Structure 1
């Protein structure tokens, strides 16, 4: 069952309303606000005409007031910037580059007469670096702000600060399709007490029926997409726009559609950011044939595919997410927000009533977030920190942000830039950092180029940087090293199977990079004579010093990276026959329990930064041996490059490790020492002059015994008794010997040992004949504790255990005597044991 989106007006009424763009209702108040010097925050849904209507209206305001300067319209995507600029130029019967122009990466149409200049956010920030006051700019328009990219947030913060502090004449318009205007207005007014104006424009759209699918976890996306695409073709007469997460999914769905029967008048085209401008234009150009357009979210906002009457939405998008703790960025396929889902569905109702098919269920719809998470909360901030440092801003939090960046992400970015030598400890940009900031590259790649220019030609360095920054057209050539790829592109030796356009695009990027490189060619020294593979590897090492990996000897496909992260996929990343142990993994996926390596090069230990290489001795506990062991380690950061056994030094660290592991096995010192402790404890309970051996005293004693020793075996054979007696003192020891003696004397003069075991009463073992003439049970501890007597027969086995010897003689002895006389007739068994003399062997006297 479908859900109707959009107005419920008749088609005739819709056709009448289509003669006038909804944005025209707010252009007059917008022009008044601009004329009064107010910032404007405009919310207008797709189809209202804001992108094509607002810039000309602002231009007219400037012309009416004789205000010089350009209007910069900032778009998140290159395709949108080019296509909108071209449309407005044609609507004015002008060529692009006259009044209306654009400036995107690798493509610029601008002249001295250009007044409205469309550009990408990245290009805006780069031009602002060279012209921080925007001296020739009269107004900045930030379009599609609801996308909340990191660059858009930065552009807003920097433009607003410029307006507030130095350029109160600079106009500012923030336009959003779905985001509410109130938070932005509050931000603009709160930070510098300005009067920002909020405007809202109703959209113009035909009704769209939304159809929900069923949740099918585990089912491949290409198989799930076929049925709703067929349904969309049957239920509508125009083009079908299909939203997919990424290029990989587009290719798989395209392949799947080729295997099924689609109507003869339907052709499949693709639309994504990696295509050439010509290919992108082909996808959005009006066509008599019906098209199934397989697109990423590039077609979600400003880009309009004319003639679309049906949308099929996977409900997913690929989002870069930076893990600041691992220092790695990974693309995550995530569910889109409700706002994005509505935007996508709305694309079906731009020119006629439409149909929208969603792959997820209506129940799953309720669990989606209302808006997308701002990119500033999940992105690598190193480029932002470097750019602000180049403007003299050392404290990222001093900037007023619509959404403040996370503290840990800022710290991670600053740590990376310090590691690359781009900023100093105080956050100020260094001379090398200034050079890096002027390059249109990520700080890592910029650092790589500054290293490579000393050993490679500028053209090679530029191609290397382009390969690292852009999609690698030779990524399937697994047998080629990175240096081989640079050489093949530079010298036109690229295999014919590789797309000529992709190589041409890469060369264009390389040329842009080459113009930003520091002046000069490599010298004539050792660096200039360096092998190309070595030069590339060393340049990469300067950019990724935190991606050094030591291969595992027992599993060559896996290794450990600086920082402790495990990696896998080394064999494929390096290619067959590469067996080196020390590697640099410069392309790593941050996902999973281990990071998957996509590209790596072998490196040499002598290339590593000497300040990060240390030789240390480490001590650790060997549980199997019950001893401290020592290893001599050569480390790079926290990565152990190699280690060998070393003699245990027996220092404070040794004693500490031994103590930490031995205290869990107390008491040590053997049975005699345990008996000694028990005797002291028993006496201490009845005599205050004898200190109790508390747990704290015992631990302190152990700590002393660990000094100069390294194993449990040494501890067990240590003179524990001497140390404990030294602890309690000589006089206390005398009392212990008197009150808890080691031996007691029997009536016949012999002595027997007293047994002391914790949890049991003290006892002696003695033959019955040796106790003749002994009337009472012997006592210790000042008579408070009777000794337990284990009375033995001639065979040494207990016949009776008693605490009351007198009672034994008076009652039990007679019964035992009968049995013992029968079994041992040669032994003496007197009727009156108290009057008999003790006998060692117990035999009858002759």
Structure 2
């Protein structure tokens, strides 16, 4: 019997006339309705004609999560006085509850995508409702784009509704061809905000890690909410692990008159999920992930405790690692969570952060298309006939780098051709309903060692494995076979589904001869670039990324492993293995065979040319032996690399050669072209020009050390312009001073050469010597060879500075001439005694 009283109480009823008008006139609509208004339950029943007087239609409702799909279907069936499987049914991966008279079917967005790929017209479906669009899950965005294509090209009569609690309504309206926006207003009760930050600083989240001090604080705030408020408490935490830890810290709540602690997440048993969605006999603390933000309605809640954290996907394309990461929840999520406290009566939200931090939070969650692994999306787009997704109606375009990485993976598993179009194998992979990597492993390993075993491993890897199963994939597989928890139950259902669907798709021609589809084989086939060999205290993946096992891992010491799940903690260069399996070397070679190569490797290493014939599996060196007949071109490149790393100092530089380089650097600095740049970088760039033919004859470091650098450097002089002949004129190596001595100029500083000469040898010279028009810096030396004065203006020195120098030194060096008038004195290299002779 239909529960009319409950249906009539749903606030969305007031928006139904506008929704009908939008669909009748435009065929599409954007429905914006707060949680609890009935958009997920009443609207589909009305559109199907199960409630009210509308025509009978078949309605498909797409939800982002399995738990929400089941809950919505059961709630609608209850409102009709039925059980799921009658007028209302649901289909999620591995579970289908529908009957011959089902008019409303609730599915996950992933299931909807599978149907669209098999039947683009969605024959027999009249209306599709995409629920919770604001969450911006990748499957939901993709399904919306595909459905718009269907409506535009094949079925203009197909009605589309984008429904959401809070969303970019105008953005969705534009995407659906200018769809009308219909708003429903819920019954909203005031919610008091209590800021409850930790008393002491806590470390920010990174990777999957959350500071235990924050979780302890959240548990204390839950106790505070129980003490200060009536009714149930709903606490938002980022993931299953944090829910379990907070549940453990709450312990015995008997002091509050008996309180049930319920844990709600995608892995929770069905009876727990059902219990959460029904009023309890005792007070309850419901610990939930973001699934309870808008997808589920939890009755009886008067207080919300918000940890302020959420979990989002992230991809490290450089290392080929994808995982979930803990982030600060957005302000939009905070509003959604707070609203749960005011659904039925005035309530309170306890926010476990400071009010000053709130303005710094992101406004909205990051759309999954911007941050997630796009391999499955790229395959969906290719099978749809739009490989680069440029023609799809998407609120956010996929990032180019992520799409390029996705196409590379798809090409490696044979899912797309060189133009990015889906192959027959790619279409088969898309129909499996798992990530293309896992699909590849299922088909190839299943063909070699049995579908049953391959399906077991793929089912295990298709969902996040509980931490208590450990990091050894083979041991986790044994554990789930024995398990009796909700995860094990879902795993068995998924194994059955995979077994069935593999029989429906084309089988691959290739087989892994001699290998069985054990855990390691499947992991290696799914993630060939993560096959890794023990290398010192860590493992080196064939991709080049290093990975470390947890200290207590039973995999320590295994020569080869296949890494199925890994992440990279913030601030660490190495990946951290979360789930892996031991594999024999032949399986590693076979799975990562596309990365195998045998080549001559000639490089500069440890200060010399190293020539080897190397066998490699990607970054992993399998074997190497010395190479005696190395390709001269490769040797030449290695020598050039040595010169780049260590500089021209590898050559033989006589004192004359070094001076020549300094003179050329001086001329280049002051005159520019055509004088050559002789810096290390410039000499390396022109090495083949000035070091031939000596470089062509060299084979090792010792050969470079025999090359006369000065003779080679002379090749860079501007001979063609004739300027080379002016080298000694412009930058003389020596200058003749008044005493007749030829004194060497020091060009170590290209700004200004230095002339170091005894003071008495410069008597009578008023004009400072110059090189290339630049006055030299004269270091006037005492008889002992120490600088007595430094000047670039001799005339000024003789008239002013000389007097002080003479007064200081004449008593110390009485045998040397110290005339009162140096401008007219005779320059000399000798003492007074020699002069008198």
Tell me which of 644, 650, 665 is aligned to 1:660.
644
Q: Note if 1:548 corresponds to 2:537.
A: no
Q: Note if 1:98 corresponds to 2:86.
A: yes
Is contact 1:98–1:110 with CA below 8 Å preserved after alignment? yes
Q: Note if 1:162 corresponds to 2:150.
A: yes
How far, CA to CA, are the matches of 1:377 and 1:693 in structure 2? 53
The DSSP-based 3-state class of the residue aligned with 1:583 is strand
How far, CA to CA, are the matches of 1:551 and 1:629 in structure 2? 24
Deviation at 1:158, TM superposition (A): 0.9
Which deviations, in whole Å up to 9, do the C-alpha atoms of 1:538-568 show, x marking residues without a partner? Answer: 3322221221334332xx1x23434443322
The DSSP-based 3-state class of the residue aligned with 1:41 is strand
The DSSP-based 3-state class of the residue aligned with 2:90 is strand
Tell me which of 544, 549, 552 is aligned to 1:569.
549
How far, CA to CA, are the matches of 2:411 and 2:642 in structure 1? 39
Q: Note if 1:311 corresponds to 2:299.
A: no
Deviation at 1:171, TM superposition (A): 0.8
Aligned to 1:295: 288
**Structure ID, larger Rg:** 1
1:569-588 → structure 2 map (5 Å cutoff): 569=549, 572-573=552-553, 575-576=555-556, 578-580=557-559, 582-588=560-566
How far, CA to CA, are the matches of 1:637 and 1:684 in structure 2? 46
Q: Note if 1:367 corresponds to 2:360.
A: yes
Aligned to 1:505: 490
1:662–1:297: structure 2 CA closer, same or farther, 3 Å change rule?
closer
Deviation at 1:76, TM superposition (A): 1.6
Deviation at 1:150, TM superposition (A): 0.9
How far, CA to CA, are the matches of 2:743 and 2:644 in structure 1? 34
How far, CA to CA, are the matches of 1:817 and 1:181 in structure 2? 96
How far, CA to CA, are the matches of 2:460 and 2:427 in structure 1? 23
Which deviations, in whole Å up to 9, do the C-alpha atoms of 1:264-314 show, x marking residues without a partner? Answer: 332212111101212211232222211111111222213122222222221
Q: Note if 1:358 corresponds to 2:336.
A: no
How far, CA to CA, are the matches of 2:454 and 2:577 in structure 1? 23
Q: Note if 1:197 corresponds to 2:180.
A: yes
The aligned length equals 775
Which deviations, in whole Å up to 9, do the C-alpha atoms of 1:804-843 show, x marking residues without a partner? Answer: 9xx9xxxxxxxx99999999xxxxxxxxxx9xxx9xxx9x
Tell me which of 250, 269, 272 is aligned to 2:262.
269
Tell me which of 284, 288, 291 is aligned to 2:277.
284
Aligned to 2:226: 233
How far, CA to CA, are the matches of 2:616 and 2:458 in structure 1? 30
Tell me which of 337, 340, 347 is aligned to 2:333.
340
Normalised TM-score (structure 1): 0.78
Which deviations, in whole Å up to 9, do the C-alpha atoms of 1:188-232 show, x marking residues without a partner? Answer: 226xxxxx2211111113332222212553172332123432332
Aligned to 1:559: 539
1:305–1:621: structure 2 CA closer, same or farther, 3 Å change rule?
same
Deviation at 1:135, TM superposition (A): 0.8
Aligned to 1:409: 402
How far, CA to CA, are the matches of 1:711 and 1:516 in structure 2? 62
Is contact 1:37–1:168 with CA below 8 Å preserved after alignment? no
1:72–1:696: structure 2 CA closer, same or farther, 3 Å change rule?
same
Deviation at 1:99, TM superposition (A): 1.5
Aligned to 2:13: 24
Q: Note if 1:671 corresponds to 2:638.
A: no
Is contact 2:425–2:506 with CA below 8 Å preserved after alignment? no
Which deviations, in whole Å up to 9, do the C-alpha atoms of 1:615-634 show, x marking residues without a partner? Answer: 34455555x74x55555543
The DSSP-based 3-state class of the residue aligned with 1:128 is helix
Q: Note if 1:141 corresponds to 2:129.
A: yes
Q: Note if 1:331 corresponds to 2:324.
A: yes
Aligned to 2:206: none
1:796–1:262: structure 2 CA closer, same or farther, 3 Å change rule?
closer
The DSSP-based 3-state class of the residue aligned with 1:599 is strand
Is contact 1:271–1:280 with CA below 8 Å preserved after alignment? yes
Aligned to 1:6: none
Deviation at 1:153, TM superposition (A): 0.8
**RMSD of aligned alpha carbons:** 5.1
How far, CA to CA, are the matches of 1:17 and 1:252 in structure 2? 37
1:222–1:727: structure 2 CA closer, same or farther, 3 Å change rule?
closer
How far, CA to CA, are the matches of 1:302 and 1:310 in structure 2? 18
Greater CA deviation, 711-720 or 40-49? 711-720
How far, CA to CA, are the matches of 2:226 and 2:668 in structure 1? 95
Is contact 2:456–2:495 with CA below 8 Å preserved after alignment? yes
Aligned to 2:115: 127
Tell me which of 380, 384, 387 is aligned to 1:394.
387
How far, CA to CA, are the matches of 2:159 and 2:781 in structure 1? 109
Deviation at 1:452, TM superposition (A): 0.9
Deviation at 1:719, TM superposition (A): 6.9
The DSSP-based 3-state class of the residue aligned with 2:230 is coil
Aligned to 2:473: 482
Which deviations, in whole Å up to 9, do the C-alpha atoms of 1:672-692 show, x marking residues without a partner? Answer: 33456789999999xx9xx99
Aligned to 2:37: 48
Which deviations, in whole Å up to 9, do the C-alpha atoms of 1:698-742 show, x marking residues without a partner? Answer: 967865553424548844652734873896779999998999799
1:257–1:760: structure 2 CA closer, same or farther, 3 Å change rule?
closer
Is contact 1:81–1:102 with CA below 8 Å preserved after alignment? yes
Is contact 2:428–2:505 with CA below 8 Å preserved after alignment? no
Is contact 2:137–2:367 with CA below 8 Å preserved after alignment? yes
Aligned to 2:677: 695
Is contact 2:668–2:676 with CA below 8 Å preserved after alignment? no
Tell me which of 601, 607, 615 is aligned to 2:590.
607
Greater CA deviation, 699-708 or 39-48? 699-708
The DSSP-based 3-state class of the residue aligned with 1:567 is strand
Greater CA deviation, 700-709 or 260-269? 700-709
Aligned to 1:591: 569
Q: Note if 1:429 corresponds to 2:422.
A: yes
Tell me which of 617, 630, 634 is aligned to 2:615.
634
Aligned to 1:449: 442
Aligned to 2:708: 718
Is contact 1:235–1:355 with CA below 8 Å preserved after alignment? no
The DSSP-based 3-state class of the residue aligned with 2:151 is helix
The DSSP-based 3-state class of the residue aligned with 1:48 is coil
1:791–1:389: structure 2 CA closer, same or farther, 3 Å change rule?
closer
Aligned to 1:7: none
Which deviations, in whole Å up to 9, do the C-alpha atoms of 1:106-150 show, x marking residues without a partner? Answer: 322212211111111111111222221101100001111111111
